[in-house]
Structure 1
Amino acid sequence: MTEPLLSAAGLTKSFPGPDQVRVPVLRGISLAVQPGEFVAIVGPSGSGKSTLLYCLSALEPYDSGSVSIAGQRLETLRPKQLQALRRSTVGFVFQSFNLIPSLTARQNIALPASLAHRPVSATEVDAALAAVGLSDRGDHRPGSLSGGQQQRVAIARVLASRPEVVFADEPTGALDTTAGDAVLGLLRQVATGTRAVVMVTHDLEAAARADRVLVLRDGTVHRELVRPSAGQVLDALTAAGQEA
């Protein structure tokens, strides 16, 4: 069997609560994501799904357990090594886009690869823009783009950086149906070959586009669904909410 591109074992995470008591958010989560997979994470509010995404992507430290990305165990890496891993191997699509307002779409797309010391060519940037249907918006700054266009620029930035694992946090949350569908189609295209996508979403239709759906409940994986319908995701979420 192919080695997982992303894996976690016994992952725990807690945050400070009242009276200096730690409040557990992740309670021993284990999972594996294979190359070419598109995995969605869903769950009731407070189930830990966004915290899990940030821990898996090396953006948030975890308390115990282990996470491996492309064969590298995060807990064994020094801060500079973690930073290098995030720049070279991980791509993150934020709900808030995280584009730099003073830069054009082209400049925003080229920036992460440049920071990782593997600059992309103008041809590669144009190809990424074309892939997201924004060939005519390369010289526009984020303020002159719609929400859907900004999200597509954020995905083009990931495409140009060529990361092995793409993490997406509610990528369609601020978009209308048409723009959201386009973004999901792009993420589906990314999850092929040697690359994978892990997405947190509250959108049932979006989750149903994934190969697998992990349903969280109270910081644990409650259920795993393989190529489910939106209705099946809803049933699993309802059950998770009732049993939480």
Structure 2
Amino acid sequence: MNEHLLEVHDLAKSFPGTRGRAPTPVLRGISLAVARGEFLAVVGPSGSGKSTLLYCMAGLEPPTTGTVALLGQPVGRLGRQAQARLRRNHVGFVFQTYNLIPSLTAWENVALPARLARRKISRRQIGQALETVGLGDRADHKPAMLSGGQQQRVAIARVLAVRPDIVFADEPTGALDTASGNQVLNLLREAATDGRSVVMVTHDLQAAARCDRVLVLRDGVIHRELLRPTADEVFDAVAHAETRVV
């Protein structure tokens, strides 16, 4: 069994220029690997390429050059249907905007991905996922009846219910208060177990310090790598990236 769930080699991403301008480089040759059971945070100044990197690693955005391998499968060599099947069966994504269906209850939102993928999921599994995030008594509530923190926890329950091998989380605490944010981080921490991994992009440096490893991006490259850092170490690394003289 490969000890790495995700391997990225020399990844670069540029966006087309407008009105005859040259393409804009966002990622500039990034290589990394994510081990089984690892909780990895990606931090850095605004515009450093964090979210673009996350979307490329998750197979939601094609890189300009370089390779991404999920569970040993090179994503770029797969057809669209095979890529979709790989994500559906092995990848979970937690968005900052929750992406819940307004007309569905919490229970129905959690059940939806498995049903769309035609995967068997029992009522017990759905109920257990909602219980895990502390919302067993809100199963029949629609998103409009839930707070932002509760909606984010439903979004995480939706991921937990299908037990993906790797979870990508884009600013999962960005719109939450401190208490709700801590609950979400605890859930993500627990998800990085039993050979499963979590990759999180965040501006919350305290949250990043709770991870096993932190990558600090600057100008589309990995500026620093920190192993089990303190919050002060993360703050110092990001401050150095932000104050670099160009």
Please say whether Structure 1 and Structure 2 have the same fold, judged by a TM-score greater than 0.5: yes
What SS does the aligned partner of 1:40 have? strand
What SS does the aligned partner of 1:108 have? helix
Instruction: Name the CA distance, whole Å, in 1 between partners of 2:139 and 2:60.
Output: 28
Residue by residue over 1:13-42, the C-alpha shift from the partner in whole angstroms, topping out at 9 and shown as x without a partner, is 001224241010000000000000000000
Instruction: Name the CA distance, whole Å, in 1 between partners of 2:79 and 2:116.
Output: 18
Higher mean C-alpha displacement, 42-51 vs 1-10: 1-10
Q: Is contact 1:87–1:115 with CA below 8 Å preserved after alignment?
A: no
What SS does the aligned partner of 2:4 have? coil
What SS does the aligned partner of 2:66 have? strand
- Structure 2 match to 1:13: 13
Q: Is contact 1:39–1:199 with CA below 8 Å preserved after alignment?
A: yes
1:63 is aligned to 2:64? yes
1:147 is aligned to 2:136? no
Deviation at 1:2, TM superposition (A): 5.1
- Structure 2 match to 1:44: 45
Instruction: Name the CA distance, whole Å, in 1 between partners of 2:85 and 2:2.
Output: 25
Deviation at 1:3, TM superposition (A): 2.5
Cα distance 1:126–1:33, how it changes in 2: closer, same or farther (>3 A)?
Answer: same
Q: Is contact 1:110–1:119 with CA below 8 Å preserved after alignment?
A: no
What SS does the aligned partner of 1:5 have? strand
* AA at the equivalent of 1:116: A
Instruction: Name the CA distance, whole Å, in 2 between partners of 1:20 and 1:90.
Output: 36
What SS does the aligned partner of 2:243 have? helix
Q: Is contact 1:7–1:31 with CA below 8 Å preserved after alignment?
A: yes
- TM value normalised by structure 2: 0.97
- Structure 2 match to 1:171: 172
Instruction: Name the CA distance, whole Å, in 1 between partners of 2:176 and 2:238.
Output: 22
Instruction: Name the CA distance, whole Å, in 2 between partners of 1:200 and 1:216.
Output: 11
1:114 is aligned to 2:115? yes
Deviation at 1:138, TM superposition (A): 0.4
What SS does the aligned partner of 2:158 have? helix
1:230 is aligned to 2:231? yes
Identity over aligned pairs, percent: 63
- TM value normalised by structure 1: 0.98
Instruction: Name the CA distance, whole Å, in 2 between partners of 1:164 and 1:131.
Output: 18
* AA at the equivalent of 1:100: I
Residue by residue over 1:170-197, the C-alpha shift from the partner in whole angstroms, topping out at 9 and shown as x without a partner, is 0000000000000000000000121000
Residue by residue over 1:59-107, the C-alpha shift from the partner in whole angstroms, topping out at 9 and shown as x without a partner, is 1111111001111110110000111111111100000000000011011
Instruction: Name the CA distance, whole Å, in 2 between partners of 1:160 and 1:20.
Output: 46
* AA at the equivalent of 1:224: E
* AA at the equivalent of 2:81: K
Q: Aligned Cα RMSD in Å?
A: 1.1
How many equivalent pairs are there? 244
Which runs of 4 or more aligned residues in structure 1 lie more than 3 Å from their structure 2 counterparts after TM superposition?
none
* AA at the equivalent of 1:3: E
